[in-house]
Structure 1
Amino acid sequence: MSSPTIVIGAGVVGAATAYALTARGERVLLVEQHERGHHHGSSHGATRIFRQGYADAEYVALTTRALELWEALEAAGDTTLIDRTGAVDHGRVEVVDAIAAALTDAGIPHETLTPDEAAARWPGIAFEGHVLTHATAGRIHSAEAIELFLTLAERTGLADLRFDTRVTRVEDHGDAVTVTLTAADGGTEAVRTASVVAAVGSWAPTLIGDLLAERGARLPAIRVTQEQPAHFPSHLPDEAWPSFVHWADGDDVYGLLTPGEGVKVGFHGTGPVVDPDHRDFTPVPAEAARLQAYVERFVPGVDASKPTFISCLYDNSPDEDFVIDRRGPITVATGFSGHGFKFAPLLGDMIADLATGGAPHPRFSL
């Protein structure tokens, strides 16, 4: 029997890849250094934004494909994973108008509003500049989505899922690799495979950067940052909250309701650079104060004085494009730059294609 594909990382990308591979009839060994559903990476938490509001036509097209796959996943799991709350973009005219043009070109229905019209519809948010809304967007049940990917992969009988198991060495043999696994109890196992997927986000440079370089394919400079959004208690009913992005004159801001926790608001990609294995999970005080000041001004539907801060990692590529490619037996997935979750089922399909001999997406290749 052929060796399984080893997928390293059980965040949303690794989980989606394991599901996509098993759906093709492939055996998978999924290895995760932390516990199931852990909070140490980029995927944890109850909610993420699904939106089609990109100014880039290629990303808009990818959101359409991803949405079809989210709906297929919902059907497979007999559950709802995206609440169609709609999404609102507002702020810098050139950005919002470019998003509107891209949605028009893609045939995605949307509506433009004045700030006053938007404030009347969504009184929890203060708007500026141009305002755009589209109804296909919403809120992903992110923790449930990851668990569903894992559960569906397990149900095939083709997936061996191992948590609290670190990859301590990857040895390249040319047409295969040997992956050394170290369990929490200190036990080790060496597994040889013709295909390994490093869906490890922020850990990609240290885990496989050198292996790829030896094959003449350098990773771009992946900048790992610790982001610090926060949940704020809402004065309004849950139905009052769309997902939203503010293309502000300073740093861009995103927000959405997490039911039962509050309205999550954060600056996009502004956190300090960190080592993913050595981080303190605590907010930078000046940035915390800056976020509260922003919320006080632009999100009047919440109590800005009572934040509950969250800590998560961004694996930022220089141009915020994803990095998904293969060299020999090694497939890498990183550089999701804080906007990858919405594409998860599509990313799983793309990576599974690569890992089984398919061609990389030209835009995301090394």
Structure 2
Amino acid sequence: MYDCIVLGAGVMGSCAAYNAAKNRKKTLLLEQFSLDHKNGSSHGASRIIRNCHNESNYVKMAHRAFQLWDEMGHLGGETLYTSCGLLWLGDEEGTIKRSNLLKENNNVQHQILAGKQIRQKFPHLNYDEGNWHAVLDNQGGVIYAEKCLQTSQKLFKQFGGDIKENCKVVDVIPGSIIKVITEDGHTYETKQLIVAMGGWLNKLFPEIKIAPTPNLVSVNFWKLKKEFEDKEPLYNPDNLSPCLIIKKDDIDFFMLPGADFKGQVKFGIHMGESIDIDNKDRNVADWMHLNPAKHMNEHMSDIDTTKPEKIVMCVYQVTDDSNFILDTHPKYGKNIAFGSGFNGTGFKFGALIGEILNQIVDGKPINCCDMTFFSSTRVITEKNIH
């Protein structure tokens, strides 16, 4: 008998399991694939971490997330993120809105830049023309995704947790004592169940009203042109080269400096194409690297945009309003909680999501955010790219 079982050993599930074990729950973490699989959303070396968002709920959550990553890094003896800065480029109206949200929520340190000021501070970025404005979130930067995942799992085991990989769950029987049945015929019993299965949530719980749609996304790596290889330090997060979020019309791009591979930037478009999560035959469309190449040609002349040096596929779990799903099961009681629908922006909140999912099943108050945002039965009225 376990106090808590967690389904899914991506960043959300691993952080939830770590939090449970740290709080002295006898905990089992089940993963249907190997721990180092690349079928979901948690693989790869880096992600963006930031305070800056388009909605105050996420700004408040970011403050707590930074604290929890610091705590995990201290316990694990690791540096889990680098504050090289997050530069969010867009129009003047959006920039002012994001700046005001940072001021109103914890008065986060930031700067506003416009036009030629951007290149004066960051010589490799040319946004002189076109009425570009930007917020520089000083604490933002690169979070080391693979290291975060490994550290949360290492600490989970140090706190006495059990991990079983290649262990697919085929059924859950709810009740005051929950039964979790696996494909190999085992039945595990637990008082609490946390479900962090990403795109597989609705395979196990098809009755969830707001079902995230798995989207396949192309993560593109681009090298510097040979004649500009001496500019590598400008693209190095250790030299405070910032991560970028770029909003142009209805398209959102993202860029991370050379955190994965030296001399290469990670630059992609924040959208994908819907897929069947169980289909292993995955191919990304050409537009997912052609659109980023066009933007870099206009604004980052040091980058060789002939073709990506490397393409890695990632799966986003997309909700209709782009907000997360963090809730109890609507039918089976408050000892089953689930998290999904992180829309490609959730990794940086992983340590916090792990805490929240435990607070949900423990029946504890959650003070860092308005949880109605994340209800599985909410009425969706508009899309919010946060």
Would you say the 8 A contact 2:45–2:260 is kept in 1?
no
Q: Paired residue for 1:264, among 253, 263, 266?
A: 266
Aligned equivalents of 2:116, 2:323: Cα separation in 1: 34
Give the secondary structure class of the aligned counterpart of 2:148. Answer: helix
State the shift of 1:240 in Å.
Answer: 6.0
Give the gaps of 5 or more residues in structure 2. 377-386
Q: Which moved more, 1:118-127 or 1:47-56?
A: 118-127
Aligned equivalents of 1:200, 1:298: Cα separation in 2: 38
Counterpart of 2:254 in structure 1 is 254
Would you say the 8 A contact 1:224–1:314 is kept in 2?
yes
Give the secondary structure class of the aligned counterpart of 1:25. Answer: coil
Would you say the 8 A contact 2:83–2:240 is kept in 1?
no
Aligned equivalents of 2:288, 2:42: Cα separation in 1: 22
Q: Flag the 1:258–1:170 CA change in 2: closer, same or farther, 3 A.
A: farther
Opposite residue 126 of structure 1, the aligned amino acid is N
Give the secondary structure class of the aligned counterpart of 1:7. Answer: strand
Opposite residue 133 of structure 2, the aligned amino acid is H
State the shift of 1:279 in Å.
Answer: 4.0
Q: Flag the 1:114–1:92 CA change in 2: closer, same or farther, 3 A.
A: closer
State the shift of 1:153 in Å.
Answer: 0.6
Q: What are the superposed Cα offsets for residues 224-265 of structure 1, whole Å, 9 maximum, x if unpaired?
A: 100112011134211262111111113111111243522111
Opposite residue 336 of structure 1, the aligned amino acid is F
Counterpart of 2:111 in structure 1 is 111
| 1:342 maps onto 2:344 in alignment | no
Give the secondary structure class of the aligned counterpart of 1:246. Answer: strand
State the shift of 1:168 in Å.
Answer: 1.6
Residue-pair matches, total: 351
Counterpart of 1:227 in structure 2 is 217
Counterpart of 2:185 in structure 1 is 188
Q: Flag the 1:57–1:6 CA change in 2: closer, same or farther, 3 A.
A: same
State the shift of 1:36 in Å.
Answer: 1.3
Q: Paired residue for 1:154, among 152, 157, 173?
A: 157
Aligned equivalents of 1:303, 1:337: Cα separation in 2: 29
**Map 1:191-340 → 2, pairs under 5 A:** 191-210=188-207, 218-234=208-224, 235=229, 236-237=232-233, 238=236, 239=239, 241-261=241-261, 262-268=264-270, 270-307=271-308, 308-327=310-329, 328=333, 329-340=335-346
Q: What are the superposed Cα offsets for residues 1-23 of structure 1, whole Å, 9 maximum, x if unpaired?
A: x5331100000000000010011
Counterpart of 1:214 in structure 2 is none
Opposite residue 313 of structure 2, the aligned amino acid is S
Runs of 4+ in 1 over 4 A off after TM superposition: none
Would you say the 8 A contact 1:87–1:243 is kept in 2?
yes
State the shift of 1:192 in Å.
Answer: 2.3
State the shift of 1:123 in Å.
Answer: 2.6
Q: Flag the 1:280–1:25 CA change in 2: closer, same or farther, 3 A.
A: same
Q: Which moved more, 1:333-342 or 1:276-285?
A: 276-285
Counterpart of 2:90 in structure 1 is 91
Q: Flag the 1:293–1:122 CA change in 2: closer, same or farther, 3 A.
A: same
Q: Which moved more, 1:248-257 or 1:356-365?
A: 356-365
Opposite residue 363 of structure 1, the aligned amino acid is F
Aligned equivalents of 1:286, 1:109: Cα separation in 2: 36
Aligned equivalents of 2:260, 2:217: Cα separation in 1: 22
Q: Flag the 1:115–1:324 CA change in 2: closer, same or farther, 3 A.
A: same
Q: Which moved more, 1:218-227 or 1:139-148?
A: 218-227
TM-score relative to the length of structure 1? 0.91
Give the gaps of 5 or more residues in structure 1. 211-217
Give the secondary structure class of the aligned counterpart of 1:311. Answer: strand
Q: Paired residue for 2:148, among 145, 161, 166?
A: 145
Opposite residue 340 of structure 1, the aligned amino acid is G
Aligned equivalents of 1:41, 1:299: Cα separation in 2: 30
TM-score relative to the length of structure 2? 0.87
State the shift of 1:297 in Å.
Answer: 2.1
Counterpart of 1:365 in structure 2 is 375
Give the secondary structure class of the aligned counterpart of 1:124. Answer: coil
Opposite residue 141 of structure 2, the aligned amino acid is G
Would you say the 8 A contact 1:95–1:247 is kept in 2?
no
Aligned equivalents of 2:7, 2:373: Cα separation in 1: 23
State the shift of 1:300 in Å.
Answer: 2.6
State the shift of 1:359 in Å.
Answer: 5.1
